[in-house]
Structure 1
Amino acid sequence: MTGLLSPRFEKYDAEYLTNYVSSPSRCLKVVKGLVFTGCAVLCVLLYTTVATHSDWNIVSSDIGHYTNSNLTILTIPTASVDAGTKHKEGVTKSLLPAQVPQYYTIHTNEHYDIDVALRTVLSLCPDEVYYNAFTQPIKTGGEEKLHETGVRVRMFKKYFDAWESLHVVTDSLSDTAFVRDDVLRYIRDSQHISAFTSGTRVEAMRQYETYRSFLSNMSSILFPWTAPYFSDHMTLHGHMYNAGRGIVISGSNSQASYIKTAISSFRAMGCTLPVEVMYLGDDDLGQDIRDDLETIEGVITRDIRKMVNDQGWALEGWAGKAFAAFLSSFREVILLDADVLFFENPESLFDESGYVDTGALFFSDRTVWPQDKKSFLRKILPRPISSKARDSRWWKGVSGENQEAGVVVVDKWRHFLSVFLTARLNGPDRDDSDAGKGSYSFWWGDKETWWIGFELAGDTDYHFHQGGTGNIGSVSNTEPIEKAEKEDNHKSESTEIATEAPQQNTDKDDFEESLRSLRGSEHGTSGESATPADESDTSKLESTMEHDDSIGFLAPAPDADDVMKAIKAAEAARASRLPTQPAHFISPKGDDLPNVVKDEPQPVDPSLELELEPERSLSRRHLTKRDSWFDTAMERKRTNLTGAAMLELKDQNIILCSPQLLHLTTSGRPMWFNGWIQDNKHEASSDISVFEFFMIEKKKNDEWAEWAVGADNMCCLKGDNLHALHEKELDALKLIVDIAKENGSLNEVLNKEKKSNKNIE
C-alpha cells in the first residue's frame, strides 16, 4: 500500500508516527495546535450565536457598520414616558453587561427598524395633485380659514410623524435621542432595496427627496415663524423630548409685582420647579426688573422676540402667552397668568389624574351668558367632530365662555403640533385682514385658543378640570329666595321669546312691530294701521322661518330679506334700552387695560339669532337682572354680613362680589385664583381684598348660580352654596399678602393706610 503513496508520505508509517509522538517537545507542539484549533472553533460559534440572536440584532446588519458614526446626538438626554417603558428597561438591563445598544422609535418606544420606517415614508410620498394642493398658501379668512388650517395641520401631522419615526431614534444605553442623517446613504448602499421599496433604487431616492421637499414647504406655510431660532421643526421638537418640567409666566413691567409675589409664594409652599419669565423685548420687561426677578432661586427671564419672526404681523399682548409656553425650555409646562396665585404647591398639578392620562389640563371659565355656538363649531372643525367638542359648553349653549387660560398644563412633546397651532391662532391668524376675520374676532383673547387649537389639530387628548369655579371674598348683600322664585314663575308664564323684564317691550314685539312697519311702508301705510293684507304678508314671511329644536331658536331662510331687515330693526330697538357690552370685555388688542370696551355689534337674543351667525347669540338675561341686584350690592354694601351666621342663613340668596375668579379642587376646596389680591389690580392704592368666604357657581340643588360682571373685573355671584375658608387656606392667603407687603408690591396701599390712621389720630 505504501507503494501507492507519494515518496513524500511513505516515511509516515505507524512506526515513524509512534517515535515522533514519543518525543516530549514534539508532543507539546501537537497539544498546542489542538488547543488553538479548539479556541478558534469556539470563537466562531459564539460570534454566530450573538449575531443571529433576536435581542442582539435590532438594527439592520446592512447599516450596523456605520450606525454610530452617522447619528447626530441631541444634547438633551431622554427619559422613558410611554407604555413600553417597562419592556424597554427590562431588555436594556439584559444588554448592559455587554454594552450593546438597543434602538427605539421616538413615538412608540418600539424596536427601531429602518426598513419599516423607510417603507412608510416612501408609501406616503404625495403625488403631484397632493403636493400642489397642500403647498399653496391659505388665502381665505374667517371660519373658512380656521377650517382649512385644521385640515392642513391634520395632514401635516401624518407626514411629520412618519418623517420623525424614520429619522429620530432613542438609544437605550446612553438614554439619548439621535437624529439620523444617513438615510440617503442607506438607500444608496443597501443591497436589499426590496425590503423598503417595490421600485428601483433611483425611484426610492427621488421619492425620499420629494417627501422632504413637500414636508419643508408645508412647514413654511403653516409654521414659518420659528426659523430664526430653530433650523427645522424636527429639531425644535427634539429639544423638547426630555427637557423636564417647569413653570412659565408671561408678563410685563406693570405685572412685575404680581410675578415676584407669585413665585416667592410658590417657593414658600415648597415648589422647587424652575421658572422662566417670558417677555417681549426690553420695552416689555426692563433690565432692572429682570435682574430683580432673577434674584429668586431658579428664575430666569427670556426674550420671546429673539425666537420668533413676526414679519407681517406683531407679537404682542395676550398673544405672547401661548408662544411663551411653546418656546420655553421645558417639555412639561405649567403656564400661568401673572396675577395667578395658589393655595398649595402648583407642582401638584402634574399629579392631577386628568393630566396624567392626557398630558393636557385645562380649566373652565365662569358659566355666564348662555351662547349657542354649535353652528360655528360645525363650520370650523374638520369632520368628524369629536365627542369632546359636542360635549362642550359652546355646543350645548351653556356659556359663551368655555376656557379660562390663567392656568394651562401641557406636555409639549406629546402635543407638539396642537400647541404649535395654538400659538399660530395667537399669532399671524389672530387679527382681521382683507381676507376675513381673525381668530380674536370669534372669542376674547387667547382663552379659547387652547382647546380650539387642539380640536382643529384633531387632538382630543386633553382634559378639562372638574373642580368647578366660583368667587372668593366677602358677602356684599343678600336677597330672599322667594323673590327670585316669583320672578322665575312670572317668566315661565310669558312667551319663550320674551326674556326681558315685563315692563319692557319684548324682542318678539319689536320683531313683529318691525315687520308691520316694514310692510306698511311698502304699501303706503303706517305700521299702526296695517291692513289685513299686511298681516297676511307677515304670516307668509313668518312661515318662511324654520324652527330648529336642536338649537332652540328661529332661523329665517337666507333669502328672506324682509325678515332680515325686521330683525335688524328689532336689534336697534333693543339696543336703545340694553347695555351694548359688559364692562369686563376688554379689547384683545389692548394690554389688559381697565374699562376698554371692544367695539362690537349689539348681540342678538338667542330666540331671533340667525344660524349664519351663531357666535353672536348672547343672552342678556343676566345684564337685565343686574340692575335689580348688582348695583345694590356694589353701591349699598352691607358690612354686617360676616361671621359663621352667614353659613346658616335660610331662604336667602347670598351675593358675593370680588374681582378674583376662584378655581376649586375636585373635592370642592379652593385651589387657585386669578385677579391679584386687591379690589382693583389696576390701581396700586386699591384696598387689599377681604377673603372670608368662597361660593361655588353651582347651587345646592345643582342649578347654575347667577353671575353679574362689572368694571375692573368686579364680579358678583348670587347663589346659596357659600363656604368658609379653612385655616390652612387662610394661612396661604396671609402668606401671599405678607410676601406682597415685604417685597413692596403693596407700598401704596400701606402708605394710604398710614395717612388714614394719622388723620384719625
Structure 2
Amino acid sequence: MEWATTLSAKRRRRTAALRLLLFALVLWFCYDTAIHRFDALDIGKNLHGKRLETQPTPALSQHTDPATKFDPDTNKANAKAQQPLQTRPDPVDDRESTSINNLEPSYDDAFQRALNRVLDLLPDELHVRDLLRPIAGTGEERLREMGLRTRSFKVLFEAWEDLHTVHVKDAVYVRDDILQYIRRHPALANSLQTDLRQLTRSYETYRSVITRLSMLLFPWTAPYFSDHLLLHSQLYGGGRGLVFSAGDAQAPFLLTSIPSIRYLGCDLPIEIMYLGDGDLSEDFRSELESLPGVVTRDLSQMVNDHGWTLAGWAGKPFAILFSSFREAIFIDADSLFLQNPEILFDDPAYTATGALFFKDRLMMPEVKKRWLQRILPKPISKNVVQSRLWTGESGHMQESGVVVVDKWKHFVALLLVTRMNGPDRDGNAAEGKVGVYDMVYGDKETFWLGWELAGDQGYAFHDGDAGIMGALEPVPSSSTVQETDQEEKDGGATAETTDTTAVVEKESVSAVVADGPDEPSNYTICAPQLLHLDRQGKPFWFNGWLLPNKFAAHKHQAPANFEAYIQESREILEPGAWQLHENNICCLTSDHFNLFSETERDVLDMIIDTGKRSGALGGRKT
C-alpha cells in the first residue's frame, strides 16, 4: 500500500512537469511567430526599390535567348553565348527593379520615378499631331525628318521601357500590369499631384502615342514581334555570336569561311540568315547546319516588307537586328579572317562604345559637307566633322564587310538603319522620288549615318589601316624599258621578243619579292581584295573572296597568289595611291610592301584548301 502511494505521487509530479514543459513550448512558439511576422514586414518594406534576386513571378513575361550550343560534350558555344559582357556597365543595368506582386500598401520609389518621367514627357495635342503625321518629302528632306522623328521616338521609348521592364540578374522581364498596379496603390496618384482617373488617362494617351509612332517609323518588325519593347527585351541576355546572310550563290563561300573561323579558335554560335526557300535551298541549309554551331534562320518570316522588297545588300542590318544575339559580329559571305574574329569584342573602341565599324579604301576624294549639313539635325557631332565625307578626303567612309554591334545599347539606331535599307532605300525617277541608295553607295554608309541621324554617337571606326593583298606587279628594269621603246620605234615586237619580255617580267616579280621591302622603289598590287590590318599593323581580315576576279564568267579560276600586301597611306597622295578598275579590282601603289609571315601563310593555305574541299574554288568536294 505504501508502494502504491509512492508510485502515484511520482506520476503526479511527472504529469505536472510535462504540462509545464508543454506550456513553455506553446509560449515560445507564439513569441517566435510574432517576432518573425514583424521581421517579415520590415524586410518586405526594405525590399521596395531594390533589385530582385529571385525567380520572376507568374505576372512577368520572360524573354531570354534560347540556348545555342553545338558541342553536346563541352557546350562551348552555349557558354560563350551566355558569358558576362566585358563591356562597361550599361546605365540601364543600374535601373531598380520592383516586385510586381507585392501586396503591401506602399509602392516602389523607382516605379514612381519612371511613371513621373512618362507623365513629364507626355506630348500635348499639337506635338502628338506633329509626331504622327505622315512622313512626306523625299531625298535629303525625308532623311532629315526621319532623323528628327527617330530622336523623339528614342526619348519616348526609353522612358516607356523604364516603366515596363524589370531587371533580374542577367535577364529583362516585361510587365504589362501598370494600370492594375496604379489602382492597387492609390497613394501614387496623390504623390504625383493628380488623381486616379487623370493618371489612367495620361498613361493610356502615352501608350497610344508610342504605339502609333512605333508603327509609323518601324512597322516591319510586326507581327513577328508584337512591339519594339518585346523585341528589345529579348536581346538583353542574348550573349555573343556571329551573323552571316547568304543565298545559294554565297553558300559555298560560307562552307569555306566558317570552317576556317573554327580553325582559328572561334567557337561562338553562328546564325545564317536567308530570305526564304528561293534564296537558300534546303540542301545548302542542311549542309551548312552540319557545321559545328551553325543554325540557319528564315529572315523573310520575321520582316514584314509589304510595299517594298527586302533583298541583296539591304538584308545586312535586318540580319543583325533579328539575330538572337545581344552582341553580334556580322560578316559578309566573301569576307575571310586571318585571326580569330572574337577578339573584336575586346577592342578598346568597341568596349567604349558598343559599335565598331571599319573604314573603306581612302580613294575618290569628294566633299559632301553640305549634304551632311542638310540631312543631319543640329548640332553636328565631332565624329561627323572628322569624317572623310566632311573633310573631302573621300566619298567613302565605311565598308560593311564586318560590323560589330551591341544591339541592346544601340537598338533605336539599328532600327533606323533598317529603315534606310528598307522602305526608304530605293528611289523612283518617274515619280520624282529620291531613295537612300541614290545618295550613298549601297548599305555601307547607312550604318554610321543611321547612328548620327538617331542622335547616337556611341560608335567608333577601327584604328587599323586598310590595304591590299596579292601578287606584286613586276617592276620593269631599265634594259626592259629601253628594249620596249626600241620595239615601238621599230613598229612592234616579234613573237620571239614578246616571249623573252614575258620571261623577264616573271623574273622581275620574283626578284621584287626576293629583294625584300627595303629596296627603294614603287610597288603595286592589283586585286579585288580589301585587306584590313589590326592595331599592330598585322593582317586581320579581308573582303573580296579568294579569286582574282569573283565576277568572271568561268568558274574554274585558280585562287589568287597572295604573296605580299601593301598598307595604304593615311595621307592623301597626288596622284591618288588607289586606282579603280573594272570588276571592283583596285590597284594600290606604295614605296613599301610586306610579306606574309609563316603563320599567316599557313592560314591562307588552310583557307584555300578548305575552299577546294568544299567545292567553292571549282574543285571537287571531298
TM-score of the pair, normalised by structure 1: 0.68
Q: CA deviation at 1:686?
A: 2.5
The 1:392–1:749 alpha-carbon spacing in structure 2 relative to 1, beyond 3 Å, is: farther
Distance across 1 between alignment mates of 2:192 and 2:460: 41
- Could you tell me how far 1:236 is from its partner in structure 2? 0.9
Residue 149 of structure 1, CA deviation: 0.5
> Contact 1:271 / 1:347 at 8 angstroms: preserved in 2?
yes
Structure 1 residue 24, shift from structure 2 partner: 7.6
| Distance in 1 of aligned mates of 2:545 and 2:275 | 22
Amino acid at match of 2:309: A
CA positional deviation for 1:176: 3.4
Mapped to 1, the partners of 2:91 and 2:148 lie a distance apart of: 36
Query: How far did residue 58 of structure 1 move?
Result: 2.5
Determine the structure 2 residue equivalent to 1:167.
164
Q: Hey, what's the Cα distance between the residues in 2 that align with 1:206 and 1:79?
A: 43
> What are structure 2's unaligned runs of at least 5 residues?
1-11, 67-81, 101-107, 478-501
State the SS of the aligned residue for 2:551.
coil
Which residue does 2:358 correspond to in 1? 363
**Counterpart among 439, 444, 454 of residue 442 in structure 1:** 439
Match of 1:475 in 2: 472
User: Would the aligned equivalents of 2:139 and 2:433 in 1 still touch at CA under 8 Å?
Assistant: yes
- Residue aligning to 2:548: 679
Residue in 2 that maps onto 1:562: none
Residue 98 of structure 2 corresponds to residue 230 of structure 1: no
| Residue aligning to 2:495 | none
Letter aligned with residue 687 of structure 1: A
Q: 1:484 is matched with which residue?
A: none
* Pair 1:641 & 2:512 matched: no
Q: Report the alpha carbon displacement of residue 261 of structure 1 after superposing the two structures with TM.
A: 0.5
Q: Distance in 1 between matches of 2:469 and 2:620?
A: 21
Cα distance in structure 1, aligned partners of 2:139 and 2:571: 41
2:90 & 2:326 partners in 1: Cα distance?
18
Q: 356, 381, 386: which one pairs with 1:386?
A: 381
Distance in 2 between the 1:43 and 1:732 partners? 71
Give 1:653's aligned residue.
522
Q: For the Cα contact (< 8 Å) 1:382–1:456, is it kept in 2? A: yes
Matching residue's letter, 1:393: R
Secondary structure class of the residue paired with 1:369: coil
SS of equivalent residue, structure 1 residue 70: coil
* 1:464 corresponds to 2:453: no
C-alpha deviation, 1:436, in angstroms:
3.3
Is structure 2 residue 607 aligned with structure 1 residue 736? yes
In structure 2, do the counterparts of structure 1 residues 115 and 29 end up closer, same or farther at CA, with 3 Å as the change threshold? farther
1:291-327, Cα deviation, whole Å (9 max, x unpaired): 2222212112222111111111111111111111111
Residue 71 in structure 1 maps to residue 60 in structure 2: yes
Deviation, 1:470, is 0.5
Aligned partners of 1:710 and 1:640: how far apart in 2?
Answer: 23
SS in 1 for 2:427: coil
Answering whether residue 155 of structure 2 is matched by residue 158 of structure 1, we say: yes
Alignment-derived partner of residue 596 in structure 1: none
- Cα pair distance change 1:700/1:192, threshold 3 Å: closer
Q: Per the alignment, do residues 284 and 54 of structure 1 end up closer, same or farther by CA in structure 2, a change over 3 Å counting? A: same
Indicate if the aligned counterparts of 1:677 and 1:688 stay in contact, CA closer than 8 A: yes
Shift of 1:411: 1.0
Match of 1:265 among 257, 260, 264: 260
User: CA separation of 1:701/1:193 partners in 2, compared to 1, >3 Å: closer, same or farther?
Assistant: closer
1:305 to 297, 300, 307: 300
| Deviation string, structure 1 residues 676-700 (Cα, Å, up to 9, x no partner) | 1110112322232111111111179
Quickly say closer, same or farther: Cα 1:298–1:27, change in 2 above 3 A: closer
**1:146 aligned residue (131, 143, 146):** 143
Q: Which amino acid aligns with 1:729?
A: E
Matched residue pairs, number?
A: 553
Deviations 1:244-265 (A, max 9, x none): 2111111222222211101111
In structure 1, how many angstroms separate the alpha carbons of the residues matched to 2:575 and 2:228?
45
Question: Is residue 2:457 matched to residue 1:455?
Answer: no
Deviations 1:172-192 (A, max 9, x none): 4xx532211211101122131
Is the contact between residue 189 and residue 196 of structure 2 (CA under 8 Å) also seen in structure 1?
no
SS in 2 for 1:476: coil
Moved more, 379-388 or 399-408: 379-388
2: CA distance, partners of 1:347 / 1:304: 24
2:126 paired residue among 126, 129, 149: 129
Spell out, residue by residue over 1:69-110, the C-alpha distance to the aligned partner (whole angstroms, 9 max, x if none).
Answer: 422222448886575699999xx9xxxxxxxx9779xxxxxx
Is contact 2:244–2:331 with CA below 8 Å preserved after alignment?
Answer: yes
- Counterpart of 1:501 in structure 2 is none
Contact 2:172/2:237 (8 A) holds in 1? no
- Where 1:248 maps in the other structure, the secondary structure is strand
CA contact (8 A) 1:698 1:705 kept: no
* Residues 1:290 and 2:290 are matched in the alignment: no
Alignment-mate amino acid for residue 440 of structure 1: Y
Q: Take 2:118 and 2:320, find their aligned partners in 1: how far apart are those partners? A: 31
CA distance in 1, matches of 2:93, 2:99: 10
Q: Which residue of 2 aligns with 1:19?
A: none
* Alignment partners' CA distance in 2, 1:416 and 1:276: 19
Equivalents in 1 of 2:91, 2:159: separation in Å?
A: 24
> 1:314 is paired with a residue of what secondary structure?
coil
Shift of 1:52: 2.9
Cα deviation, residue 664, structure 1: 0.2
- Distance in 2 (CA, whole Å) between partners of 1:304 and 1:208 is 34
CA distance in 2: counterparts of 1:121 and 1:368, whole angstroms: 48
Q: Which amino acid aligns with 1:151?
A: L
1:720 to 2:591 alignment = yes
Distance 1:644 1:50, change over 3 A: farther
Would you say the 8 A contact 2:111–2:163 is kept in 1? yes
Distance in structure 2 (CA, Å) of the matches to 1:367 and 1:33? 91
Q: Is the 8 A contact 1:103 1:171 kept in 2?
A: no
**One-letter amino acid matched to 2:173:** F
The Cα offsets for residues 102-142 of structure 1, whole Å up to 9 and x where unpaired, read as 779xxxxxx98222211211222221111111011211111
- Residue aligned with 1:204, SS: helix
The answer on whether the counterparts of 1:337 and 1:406 sit within 8 Å (CA) in structure 2 is: yes
- Structure 1 residue corresponding to 2:534, chosen from 648, 651, 665: 665
Structure 1 or 2, whichever has the larger Rg, is: 1
Deviations 1:522-577 (A, max 9, x none): xxxxxxxxxxxxxxxxxxxxxxxxxxxxxxxxxxxxxxxxxxxxxxxxxxxxxxxx
- Could you give the per-residue CA deviations for residues 186-216 of structure 1, whole angstroms, max 9, x where no partner exists? 1122131246521110000000000110001
Q: Is the Cα–Cα contact under 8 Å of residues 119 and 196 in structure 1 kept in the other structure? A: no
What does residue range 346-425 of structure 1 map to in structure 2 within 5 Å?
346-425=341-420
Partners of 2:363 and 2:396 within 8 A in 1: yes
Q: Please state whether the residue corresponding to 1:451 is helix, strand or coil.
A: helix
Matched with 1:48 is: 38
Q: Shift in Å at residue 473 of structure 1? A: 0.8
Please, which runs of 5 or more residues in structure 1 have no aligned partner?
1-21, 93-100, 105-110, 481-633, 751-761
When residues 477 and 347 of structure 1 are mapped into structure 2, their CA distance, relative to the original with a 3 A threshold, is same
| Whole-angstrom CA distance in 1 between matches of 2:163 and 2:228 | 15
Change (3 A) 1:88 1:431: closer
Give the AA of the match of 1:722.
F
Q: SS where residue 671 of structure 1 aligns? A: strand
Q: Tell me which amino acid in the other structure corresponds to 2:518.
A: E
| The one of 104, 112, 117 aligned to 2:114 | 117
Tell me if the contact between 2:115 and 2:163 (Cα under 8 Å) persists in the aligned partners. yes
Contact 1:76 1:176 in 2 (8 A): no
Q: Find the residue that maps to 1:734 and give its secondary structure.
A: helix
Deviates more, 1:684-693 or 1:33-42: 33-42
Match of 2:497 in 1: none
- State percent identity of aligned pairs: 41
2: distance between equivalents of 1:346 and 1:198? Answer: 54
Counterparts of 1:735 and 1:672, CA distance in 2: 14
Calculate the aligned-residue CA RMSD, in Å. 3.3
Q: Secondary structure at the match of 1:472?
A: strand
Q: CA deviation at 1:726?
A: 0.5
CA deviations on 1:590-629 (whole Å, 9 max, x unpaired) are xxxxxxxxxxxxxxxxxxxxxxxxxxxxxxxxxxxxxxxx
Task: Provide the C-alpha distance between the structure 1 equivalents of 2:617 and 2:263, rounded to a whole number of angstroms.
Answer: 19
Q: Secondary structure at the match of 1:640?
A: helix
